[in-house]
Structures are given as structure tokens and as C-alpha cells.
């Protein structure tokens, strides 16, 4: 039970407004702690891991776009974002964050670099072949 600070009425725990005088009740420390605590068994997502995962995914999307359009540019973007993801996820691992999401970020980033390199090489080769065919 809690007391209303304005009129002194006895109120049930968790009451937000006094039914007698309408005064707002301050939340109890237990209520504040329960509202701000993370869900049981779930750690908040680390920004480094999220950034590394996003970098790898952006790199893979750039590779897919590069297959159809602007392969050299997209290949470079995929390699750059993949390398950034590898560096970021490696730093997170050195800090002791070795969860499944960190490994996923590392793997996606490595795949991004690999696909980016393939797209870049194929785009350069096709550009050279097209130039040679136009000259001949």
C-alpha cells in the first residue's frame, strides 16, 4: 500500500492516479527497475555488432546490384563495406563479445568481400573484352 502525497489516502501498489483527489502518483522504485531492465535472457544489441552485420549485408546487396548494373562500383562498395564489417566484428570479438551474432557479422562480411572481389574482377574483364571488341 502507498499513500497519496496530496490527500493522504491509502492506495494499492501500482496506482498511477489518486481516485480521491486526482493527484498523479510517482512510480515506485521497483516499478522503475522492472520497466528499465532488459528482458530476461536477452542482452541489448551492441552497436559494433549491428554495424558489422549491416556492413556485410550492404556489401552483399551491392554485389547483387553489381551483377546487373555498375559492377565495378558495386564491387568496390561490397569490398569496402565487407572489410569494415570484418574489422568491426574482429574488434567486438577482442572485447569478449563472441556471440552468434558477432560470428554472423564476421561471416557475412567475409562473404561480402569475396563476392565483391568476384564482381569487380568479372566487371573489369568484361569491360576489357568489350573495349577490345569495339576497337576491332
pLDDT digits (tens, 9 = 90+) for 8-62: 888 887 778 888 888 887 765 555 555 555 555 566 666 777 777 777 788 778 7
State the pLDDT at residue 10: 84
Which among 41-45, 54-58, 63-67, 112-116 has the top mean pLDDT?
Answer: 112-116
List, in order, residues 6 or more apart from 90 with CB less than 8 Å away: 106
Cell of 8: 493522504
Angle between helices 100-135 and 71-94 (to 10 degrees): 160
Q: Is the pLDDT of residue 3 over 60?
A: yes
Give pLDDT tens digits for 69-107.
777 888 888 888 888 888 888 888 888 777 777 788 888
On whether the pTM is more than 0.95, the answer is no
Of the candidates 51, 72, 54, the residue with the CA atom closest to the CA atom of residue 63: 72
Residue 2 bridge partners (DSSP): 11
- SS3 annotation, 28-66: CHHHHHHHHCCCCCCCCCCHHHHHHHHHHHHHHHHHHHH
pLDDT at 134 over 60: yes
Domain ranges in the chain?
Answer: 1-36, 47-135
**How much is the pLDDT for 39?**
54
Amino acid at each position: 500500500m502507498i499513500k497519496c502525497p496530496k490527500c493522504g489516502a491509502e492506495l494499492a501498489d501500482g496506482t498511477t492516479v489518486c481516485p480521491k483527489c486526482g493527484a498523479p502518483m510517482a512510480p515506485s522504485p521497483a516499478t522503475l527497475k522492472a520497466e528499465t531492465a532488459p528482458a530476461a535472457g536477452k542482452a541489448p544489441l551492441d552497436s559494433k555488432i549491428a554495424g558489422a552485420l549491416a556492413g556485410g549485408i550492404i556489401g552483399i546487396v551491392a554485389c547483387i546490384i553489381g551483377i546487373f548494373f555498375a559492377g565495378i562500383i558495386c564491387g568496390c562498395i561490397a569490398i569496402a563495406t565487407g572489410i569494415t564489417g570484418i574489422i568491426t566484428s574482429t574488434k567486438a570479438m577482442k572485447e569478449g563479445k563472441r556471440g552468434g551474432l558477432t560470428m554472423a557479422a564476421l561471416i557475412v562480411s567475409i562473404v561480402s568481400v569475396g563476392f565483391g572481389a568476384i564482381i569487380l574482377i568479372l566487371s573489369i574483364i568484361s569491360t576489357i573484352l568489350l573495349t577490345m571488341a569495339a576497337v576491332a
